[in-house]
Amino acid sequence: MDLSMNLPNPLDLLIAPAYAQAAPQGPSLMSTLAFPVILLLIMYFLMIRPQMKRAKEHKAMIEALSVGDEVITNGGIAGTVRAIGDSFINVEISSGVEVRVQKGAVGNVLPKGTLKSA
């Protein structure tokens, strides 16, 4: 006579026995791809699109530069444009003192008369 078949296992009181279950269904392909696509759209509208817009505005500002415009460079130098080349401009920062900077280094174009009032 085999008594081990009828007696419960003492570990069953401490640890619940695991029983086989049906395999769960995974998420559909559509819901799996929807999350990354939504994330990319959010990144595009919050990061990439505004950056492209600022770059386009900066390029238009640089193309519209003319002699006599008052500018501030990205380095903080304020002056008046005296000469414009293909990729460089001459900025007069004081009477008789000119600095040559790249066009891309122009941060802002100031309204006329700003530097004289400062």
Domain layout of the chain by residue ranges: 30-64, 66-118
Query: How open is the CA angle 46-47-52, to the nearest 5 degrees?
Result: 115
Give CA separation, 7 vs 10, 19, 29, 114, in Å.
9, 18, 48, 96
Whether the pLDDT of residue 31 is over 90: the answer is no
The CATH classification of domain 66-118, taken from the options 2.30.30.60, 1.20.1440.120, 3.40.190.10, 2.60.40.10: 2.30.30.60
Q: What is the pLDDT of residues 48-94, one digit of tens each?
A: 999 999 999 999 999 999 999 999 999 999 999 999 999 999 999 99
